[in-house]
Amino acid sequence: MFLSSRVFLVLLSGLALAGCDAGPGQSTGANEAGHSAPTASTAKANQQVLEQRPFDNREDFENARRGLIAQDPDLVIGHLNGGEVWNMPGYAFIDSEGENAPASVNPSLWRQAALNNIHGLFEVTQGLYQIRGYDLANMSIIESDTGWILVDPLTARETASKAFLFAREHLGEKPVRAILFTHSHIDHFGGVQGVLQHLSDDEKANLRIIAPAGFEEEATSENIIAGPAMTRRAMFMYGKRLERDDRGHVGTGLGKGPAFGTFGFAAPTDIVSETGTELTVDGVTMVFQIVSGSEAPSEFTFYLPEQKAFCGAELVSRNMHNLYTPRGAKVRDARIWSGFIDEARNLFSEAEVYFASHHWPLWGQDNIEDFLIRQRDTYKFIHDQSVRLMNHGATPRELAENLQLPPALNKDFHNQGYYGTVSHNAKAVYQHYMGWFTANPSQLNPLPESESAKRTVEMMGGAQKVLAQARQEFDAAADMDVTEGRNTYRWLAELLDQVVFADPDNRDARALLANVYDQLGYQAESGPWRDFYLTGAYELRHGAPEEGIKPAMMREVLLHTPVSLFFDSMAVRLNADDAEGKSTTIKVTFTDLQESYLLTLQNSVLHHRKISDDTSADATLKLTRPLFVDILVGNAGLKELLFSDDLSFEGSKLDLIGFFRMLDKPEGRFNIVTP
């Protein structure tokens, strides 16, 4: 593709070499957050991207704007407790046409970020609307005989409320007859209370909430056991600590980002268990496809025969998705995922409209067919070729380095790695079949990272010698070709990580590694990769956050969590050293559920089981489920409650307090880029 001089100048605007530190944690040309200027090597790499993608194809922009009814140019949504949950004007620095990308942003990601900036209320087809750009996901509205059917009421109460009221303002006020949760990830159900708060008692009494089989358990359990680790990593993946600017967060690829507001839940009234299930909801016929085990452990797509409209949920989207999400979760099966896409293509082959939980719609049978085929083949290609190479002995890193989509699949923007990538998806396929071990004996019992790093750096002549050579390599990257320059940054990231883990107080090492992470982030086509690199750079300069995401944000979700999962979460918080040599039994009776459970501590392990009321124990605690949740999330202190009238207790109060003191209280703010 021909590059105009205007585009070339934009790519080089603000360019400064970041090789020499201006001071600890700062570098030449750094912005207020400390992020260094893009180097000449990064500018060349991002310029090259303009030659690799069909940027003159404007169909996505036409589709993303099609059917716009209304838009709020000042879309800022406040948190119930103060502060902001959502701020679309904060992304106004992104060119509305996705052009003129600065040297600090991959032009392909810049284009995707511009598309995801297009927000408002849209008519998809007659009787079908979408609210886009009010959260990470979309909220869809289907007109029924006497009201509305809502699909995926966003992440947070605040954003869902704002979106719902905006739709009412421009479409008129109609009763809500049903809400569909397409799958069990929180950005598709967590805002439901923001809608319910605006419904009449009669509406709520007759409301149908439709979800796939397993929804309630999966929706409430995903973040319970490993929640603190997942939420800490999510801060990296979604760039929560980054500024919204051309050296910070520009978007996730899948959307702008999740709304960190007030999360809620509502239990389904109707469960869909089988593909082919047909429901009539206030006069609207819906045909469902179960796709659980693809993008989510509980998920369905559905088809509206009257409008010939296919809702793809998150089975397909306008980017490559994650087979493994970097925030942490169980890997997904690419083979099954691809098979579900093919099944949808055949089941709903008459579809003339495609809409989904993210991004913008498609119109026309041929366009939808081509889109589904290419998405199907993308996941199957990654699966099949990763396994083929794995069976020839390729390691995860070798898979990630060598696997590339064929030209027939790589030409489409919707197959690009704006969210998932070929690189980490290939590793996910390996993990799915083989786990963490490559069979190389050196990986069986390695030293912890810090100990290994100390020995390595010492053998290399010490930190100062390593840093001197690393600075030379960093500066030399400016004169290398694009591939060699990028590989130099990748290698320096590994090398300097060793120096930082050997001596985390070495500010020069932290500063240089942060500069390296900046360049890798600026070159990344994936939104999560960019945010991981740039958050890593930010924390090397400024440290870990003073506090993590508060568990109290999940209170309403936890109120619907199976009680057994509460005890599972307590078991993984038990500090084995503190519990050494101790044994006890505690009976917990939920007075509102009429259920009792026995907790047994022995061998530094906590077990639980459901019991009858007459089972004896060393101590008995009687309370309501909401009060128990408040204790778990820190809204209520156990010590104070034991001496109040809000619960009853039999046995030694001091022993019970001692038991709860053996449970860790993870803060979700642990170090990641330092020991």
Looking at residue 632, what is its pLDDT? 84
**Pair of tokens at residue 19:** 């090789």
CATH at 463: 1.25.40.880
Look at residue 479 and tell me if it is in a domain: yes
On whether residue 480 sits in a domain, the answer given is yes
pLDDT for the residue numbered 24? 41
**Any idea which of 308-317, 550-559, 582-591 has the lowest mean pLDDT?**
550-559
Contact predicate 38/522, CB 8 Å: yes
Domain count along the chain: 3
Q: List the one residue out of 619, 605, 612 whose CA is nearest residue 658.
A: 619
Among the three residues 467, 501, 523, which one is the final residue of a domain in this structure?
523
Is residue 487 one of the residues assigned to a domain? Answer: yes
Mean pLDDT confidence for 87-116: 98
pTM of the entire predicted model: 0.95
In a domain, 36, yes or no: no
Q: How confident is the model at residue 16 (pLDDT cuts 50, 70, 90)?
A: very low
Q: What is the mean pLDDT of residues 207-222?
A: 94
C-alpha to C-alpha distance for 77 and 494, rounded to whole angstroms: 40
Cα angle 33, 254, 75; round to 5: 65
The burial of 6, by beta-carbon neighbours within 10 Å (0-12 exposed, 13-18 middle, 19 or more buried), is given as exposed
Choose the most confident range, by mean pLDDT, from 8-22, 103-117, 639-653. 103-117
312 and 370 part of one domain: yes
* 232 domain residue, yes or no: yes
Query: Which tokens sit at 201?
Result: 């008692």
Task: Dig out the tokens for 439 from the structure.
Answer: 């069979």
Residues 386 and 271 in one domain: yes
551 in Cβ contact with 633 (< 8 Å): yes
Tens digits of per-residue pLDDT, 285-335? 999 999 999 999 999 999 999 999 999 999 999 999 999 999 999 999 999
Both tokens assigned to 299: 């998920």
Does 334 lie in the same domain as 305? yes
- Residue 453's region, left for phi above 0, alpha for psi from -120 to 50, else beta, is alpha
Q: What confidence category does residue 405 fall into, taking pLDDT thresholds of 50, 70 and 90?
A: very high
Average pLDDT of the residues in 206-223? 93
Whether residue 381 is found in the same domain as residue 266: yes
**Structural domain ending residue among the three candidates 495, 523, 551:** 523
Q: Are residues 519 and 579 in the same domain?
A: no
**Same domain membership, residue 575 and residue 519:** no
Same domain as 461, residue 420: no
8 Å CB contact between 559 and 629: yes
CA dist., res. 432 & res. 590, Å (int): 39
Question: Residue 363 — φ and ψ, nearest 5°?
Answer: -130, 145
Based on the fold, state whether residues 511 and 629 are members of the same structural domain: no
Quote the pLDDT of residue 553.
83
What is the tens place of the pLDDT at every residue in 236-270? 999 999 999 999 999 999 999 999 999 999 999 99
Proportion of the chain above pLDDT 70, given as a percent:
96
pLDDT average, residue stretch 660-671: 93
Same domain, 367 and 264: yes
CB burial class (10 A; 0-12, 13-18, 19+) of residue 198?
middle
pLDDT at 646: 77
What does the DSSP 8-state code read for residue 474? H
Nearest Cα neighbor of 495 from 480, 474, 522, 478 is 474
Give dist(CA 567, CA 184) in Å, integer.
21
Range of the domain at 466: 446-523
pLDDT the model gives residue 18 = 37
Kindly give, in sequence order, each residue whose CB lies less than 8 Å from that of residue 209, ignoring residues fewer than 6 positions away: 178, 179, 180, 181, 192, 266, 267, 268, 269, 270
Q: At what angle do helices 334-347 and 422-434 cross, to 10 degrees?
A: 110
- Position 534 in a domain: no
CATH number at residue 254: 3.60.15.30
Q: Judge contact between 513 and 540, C-beta under 8 A.
A: yes
User: Cβ distance 160 to 263 under 8 Å?
Assistant: no
- pLDDT at position 57 is 95
* 454 shares a domain with 392: no
User: What does the alpha-carbon distance between residue 366 and residue 16 come to, in Å, rounded to a whole number?
Assistant: 47
Among 386, 390, 388, which residue's Cα sits nearest to residue 404? 386
Residues 509, 587 within the same domain: no
Q: What is the CATH number of the domain that holds 608?
A: 3.30.1050.10
pLDDT per residue as tens digits for the range 576-586: 999 999 999 99
Calculate mean pLDDT across residues 609-620: 95
Element holding 536 (H helix, E strand): helix 527-542
27 falls in which pLDDT band (50, 70, 90)?
low
Q: Which of 397, 428, 459 is the last residue of a domain?
A: 428
Supply 612's token pair. 């009858």
Calpha distance 288→151 (Å, rounded): 13
Is 253 inside a domain boundary? yes
Q: Do 498 and 608 reside in the same domain of the chain?
A: no
The position carrying tokens 């990064």 is 42
Residue at 92 is within a domain = yes
The pLDDT score that the predictor gives to residue 638 is 77
Average confidence score pLDDT of the chain: 94
CB 134 within 8 A of CB 42: no
The rounded percent of the chain whose pLDDT value lies above 90 is 87
